[in-house]
Chain A
Amino acid sequence: MANFDLNDDGVFVIVGSGAGGGTLGNELAQKGIKVVILEAGDRVEIQDFVNDEWESFKQLAWKDMRTTSGTWRIAKDFPNLPAWTVKAVGGTTVHWAGASLRFHDFEWKTRSVYGAIQGANLLDWPITPEEMAPWYDKAEDKMGVTGTHGIPRLPGNNNFKVLQAGALKIGYKEVHTGNMAINSQPRDGRGSCQQLGFCFQGCKTGAKWSTLYTEIPKGEATGNLEVRPNSMVVKIEHDDSGKVTGVVYADTENKGTLKRQKARVVAVAGNSVESPRLLLNSASSKFPDGLANSSGQVGRNYMRHTTGSVFGVFDKPVNMFKGTVMAGIIRDESGNNPSRGFVGGYEMETISLGLPFSAAFLEPGGWGREFASRLDDYTRLAGMWIIGEDMPQESNRVTLNTNVKDEYGLPVANVHYDDHPNDAAMREHGYRQGSAVYDAVGATRIIGVPPYPSTHNVGTNRMSANPRDGVVNRWGQTHDIKNLFVSDGSQFTTGAGCNPTLTIVALAMRQADYIAHQMGQKNI
């Protein structure tokens, strides 16, 4: 395992070890580049995971203070928990469910396909679907995605069987157990899924892909990668020419002592709330609006997917908690079909919650007999999650809340979000279709559940062909500073109607190739 000097200005520094940062770190290390990953959270290994929802949340989730504003329901239900992400080595790939879908071709060019939508800040990605195809191939192979590259799909659990029966009954065609980065058979030194049902709590069998026990140890084995946990980056520094020179981070194991790690290049991958926050908090006299922010787009166009859940109550047991959380999918609504009353598409994916999270999330703020009766019916619930494309809006944004400071005296992130009418129309449609699925197999009651704190956070440092329209270019390199990159979901130009992580990983692999080339050419 490598151990680099704080004054080594030849290292490549990555902020964050999740889907984007962890993947980029390994890819660069494999290419012989010296990498330091600074990770704000602790290193919690597989054996430390617990099959207990709240206990695991305490152990892994990002709980540092954040604030919210806007008309989205989250601001009322979870005012200080706008996003559900992980603060630990591996980032949110420790919590994630593993659904790994490619964008549809049209989702790379929504401005052209959807046209101008009032109030939406749509933009085509500066990348084509054809260009992404081989990177998707590589990412699927890396992550061992079921239903691709000859990898068998997972067996369906009870929750999936209910979804499937209802879906087929109302005429849906594309229904299966998904494309999951979960081993259906032993692969890549990891075993296969034992249907534990705690995918959101860190997979204790390691069957689910997470950078924590795939990319990171592989990178470390090269001797080129050092991962420093408990290292919260508070500022990115630059020289007079505007080139980035390193980062200042708080060593949280040592009373928050500030340290300075020099760097040849810096890549930010702190997830879409922290990444723009860090760029904004790094403002200097040369860059008074924050780093890489000449466009004014840093923090804007925050997207979180149009979501909601539908639970069906049945007269017989389902026991949804047995087995994979995202156990299957209906894909028929994922295309763009404006005759439904909205542009873009959505997926319907099974979801299950244990009793503690069902109490917290089925009806936030709820109480009384009606509320209690849903939990009395716990064994007879089947659940699905609706996840669709939301519109980028300039005013949906991450800003610095200067009234609220963290323990290092830095303003915390405020997350502002208003639903776009397109989002609202899509959610309604999803609720209706989801209800129809469960009604078709005899649901005695339907529960429409509002969004959970955002698990899919994208778009706040978006990619654009023109430096005026976004923060990074087609390689995730900031338009303003050539040795500063963005490597996480915040690069997303638009969100597409599917889970983001496969695309984050594919982009990180593609970016690593570009970076290695640029470093070889001494361009950075």
Chain B
Amino acid sequence: MREIDRRTQIGRRVLLRGAATAIPAAALASAGMGISAQAIWAQSAKNLNPHTMATLVLVARDIYPHDQIADSYYVKAVQPYDEKVATDSKLREMIEQGVARLDADAQNHFKTPYIEVLSQQGRLTILQGETLVPFFNKLRSDLVVALYNQPDLWRRFGYLGSSFEYGGYINRGFNDIDWLPKV
């Protein structure tokens, strides 16, 4: 048995902008630090403003930080909010106000919006602010499904998903462990 390292072999800075693969190089160059609010996917948001979407993506990564996965997975995890707020004004309010609060706190501490706070520790301090508890809990509990329930992402973690169509694992290594000590 061998372990396949499925991690993408590129640096963290690139990963941070994983979602930016769709962004023209010029746009990338002009983008500042952190995630660009100009990112094309964020601009394609129909109901939430692009800055809000970009912030949600970074918050998602801050809540469930996996250096081995690109932003595109976090993007996909927060995208449903853009749809939902169209019919759920309470949710829209919670999200817009949550992001505004994050930015206000970031301005207070770091003189930048949340997405431009460079240190993760710094962002976490803001994210854990008392007034943000309902916003934070809502994102945490939604994202634990929305992020980890993406079949494309499973393989990155070595989980192979549905097995029935491959005949299960009876002939595909269900008992192939070879490193256990002999007892």
> Which residues 20-74 of A sit at the B interface, judged by CB distance below 8 A?
50-54
The 8 A CB mask of B65-106 against A (1 = contact, 0 = none) is 110100000000000000000000000000000000000000
Bound Cα distance A320, B20 (Å): 35
The 8 A CB mask of B124-167 against A (1 = contact, 0 = none) is 10000000000000001000110111000110011111111001
Question: Counting CB contacts under 8 A, is A321 at the interface?
Answer: yes
B124, B167, B174, B183: the one within 8 Å of A165 (CB): B183
Task: Give the residues in chain B near A52, CB-CB below 8 Å.
Answer: 161-162
Bound Cα distance A322, B140 (Å): 29
In the complex, the answer to whether B145 meets A195 with C-beta atoms within 8 Å is: no
Max chain B Cβ within 10 angstroms of own Cβ: one of A195, A197, A367, A376: A367
With contacts A195-B168, A367-B64, A369-B65 taken as known, whether A375 is within 8 angstroms of B157 at the C-beta atoms is: yes
Max chain A Cβ within 10 angstroms of own Cβ: one of B66, B153, B154, B183: B183
Task: Give the residues in chain A near B147, CB-CB below 8 Å.
Answer: 359
Task: Give the residues in chain B near A51, CB-CB below 8 Å.
Answer: 161-164
The tally of CB-CB contacts under 8 A between chains A and B is 123
Task: Give the residues in chain A near B1, CB-CB below 8 Å.
Answer: 317
Question: Counting CB contacts under 8 A, is A196 at the interface?
Answer: yes
Bound Cα distance A162, B175 (Å): 10
Task: Give the residues in chain A near B172, CB-CB below 8 Å.
Answer: 322
With contacts A161-B177, A165-B180, A319-B158 taken as known, whether A196 is within 8 angstroms of B148 at the C-beta atoms is: no
Task: Give the residues in chain A near B144, CB-CB below 8 Å.
Answer: 359-360
CB distance from B176 to the nearest CB of A (A): 7
Question: Counting CB contacts under 8 A, is A356 at the interface?
Answer: yes
With contacts A161-B180, A165-B183, A371-B64 taken as known, whether A355 is within 8 angstroms of B159 at the C-beta atoms is: yes
Question: Counting CB contacts under 8 A, is B173 at the interface?
Answer: yes
Question: Counting CB contacts under 8 A, is B11 at the interface?
Answer: no
> Which residues 11-65 of B sit at the A interface, judged by CB distance below 8 A?
63-65
Task: Give the residues in chain B near A346, CB-CB below 8 Å.
Answer: none
CB distance from B23 to the nearest CB of A (A): 26
With contacts A321-B159, A378-B158 taken as known, whether A204 is within 8 angstroms of B164 at the C-beta atoms is: yes
Contact stretch, chosen from A82-90, A152-160, A410-418: A152-160
Task: Give the residues in chain B near A204, CB-CB below 8 Å.
Answer: 164
In the complex, the answer to whether A367 meets B140 with C-beta atoms within 8 Å is: yes
Bound Cα distance A354, B163 (Å): 12
In the complex, the answer to whether A155 meets B175 with C-beta atoms within 8 Å is: yes
Bound Cα distance A378, B161 (Å): 13
Bound Cα distance A360, B146 (Å): 11
Bound Cα distance A379, B144 (Å): 19
In the complex, the answer to whether B157 meets A376 with C-beta atoms within 8 Å is: yes
In the complex, the answer to whether B167 meets A194 with C-beta atoms within 8 Å is: yes
In the complex, the answer to whether A441 meets B175 with C-beta atoms within 8 Å is: no
In the complex, the answer to whether B65 meets A441 with C-beta atoms within 8 Å is: no
The 8 A CB mask of A329-372 against B (1 = contact, 0 = none) is 00000000000000000000000001110111000010111011
B145, B160, B177: the one within 8 Å of A158 (CB): B177
Bound Cα distance A205, B166 (Å): 12
Question: Counting CB contacts under 8 A, is A316 at the interface?
Answer: yes
In the complex, the answer to whether A50 meets B162 with C-beta atoms within 8 Å is: yes
Task: Give the residues in chain B near A367, CB-CB below 8 Å.
Answer: 63-64, 140
Bound Cα distance A158, B148 (Å): 24
Max chain B Cβ within 10 angstroms of own Cβ: one of A195, A198, A365, A371: A195
In the complex, the answer to whether A158 meets B176 with C-beta atoms within 8 Å is: yes
For chain B, the count of residues having a C-beta within 8 Å of the partner chain is 38
In the complex, the answer to whether A196 meets B145 with C-beta atoms within 8 Å is: no
Task: Give the residues in chain A near B157, CB-CB below 8 Å.
Answer: 355, 375-376, 378-379
Bound Cα distance A109, B183 (Å): 38
Bound Cα distance A359, B157 (Å): 12
Question: Counting CB contacts under 8 A, is A323 at the interface?
Answer: yes
In the complex, the answer to whether A441 meets B181 with C-beta atoms within 8 Å is: yes
Bound Cα distance A196, B169 (Å): 6
With contacts A50-B162, A379-B158, A441-B180 taken as known, whether A156 is within 8 angstroms of B175 at the C-beta atoms is: yes
CB distance from B144 to the nearest CB of A (A): 5
| Residue in chain A with minimal CB distance to B143 | A367
Bound Cα distance A155, B175 (Å): 8
Question: Counting CB contacts under 8 A, is A169 at the interface?
Answer: yes
With contacts A52-B161, A316-B3, A317-B158 taken as known, whether A196 is within 8 angstroms of B66 at the C-beta atoms is: no
In the complex, the answer to whether B149 meets A205 with C-beta atoms within 8 Å is: no
With contacts A169-B181, A194-B168 taken as known, whether A356 is within 8 angstroms of B175 at the C-beta atoms is: no
In the complex, the answer to whether B65 meets A372 with C-beta atoms within 8 Å is: yes
Question: Counting CB contacts under 8 A, is A250 at the interface?
Answer: no
A158, A354, A368, A378: the one within 8 Å of B174 (CB): A158
CB distance from A261 to the nearest CB of B (A): 37
CB distance from A377 to the nearest CB of B (A): 9
CB distance from B40 to the nearest CB of A (A): 27
| Residue in chain A with minimal CB distance to B144 | A359
In the complex, the answer to whether A323 meets B175 with C-beta atoms within 8 Å is: yes
CB distance from B53 to the nearest CB of A (A): 20
In the complex, the answer to whether A360 meets B65 with C-beta atoms within 8 Å is: no
Bound Cα distance A371, B62 (Å): 11
Bound Cα distance A316, B65 (Å): 22
CB<8 Å pairs between A and B, sample of 26: A51-B163, A52-B162, A54-B145, A156-B175, A158-B174, A158-B175, A161-B180, A169-B181, A193-B170, A196-B169, A197-B169, A205-B168, A317-B158, A321-B159, A321-B160, A322-B173, A323-B170, A354-B159, A355-B153, A356-B145, A365-B140, A367-B64, A376-B68, A379-B157, A441-B181, A442-B181
Q: A157-B174, A360-B144 are in contact. List 6 more A-B contacts (CB 8 A).
A: A155-B174, A158-B175, A162-B177, A205-B164, A323-B170, A367-B64
Interface of B with A (CB < 8 Å)? 1, 3, 63-66, 68, 124, 140, 144-145, 147-149, 153-154, 157-164, 167-170, 172-177, 179-181, 183
Going nearest first, the 6 A-B pairs with the smallest beta carbon separation are A194-B168, A51-B162, A379-B158, A323-B174, A359-B148, A355-B159
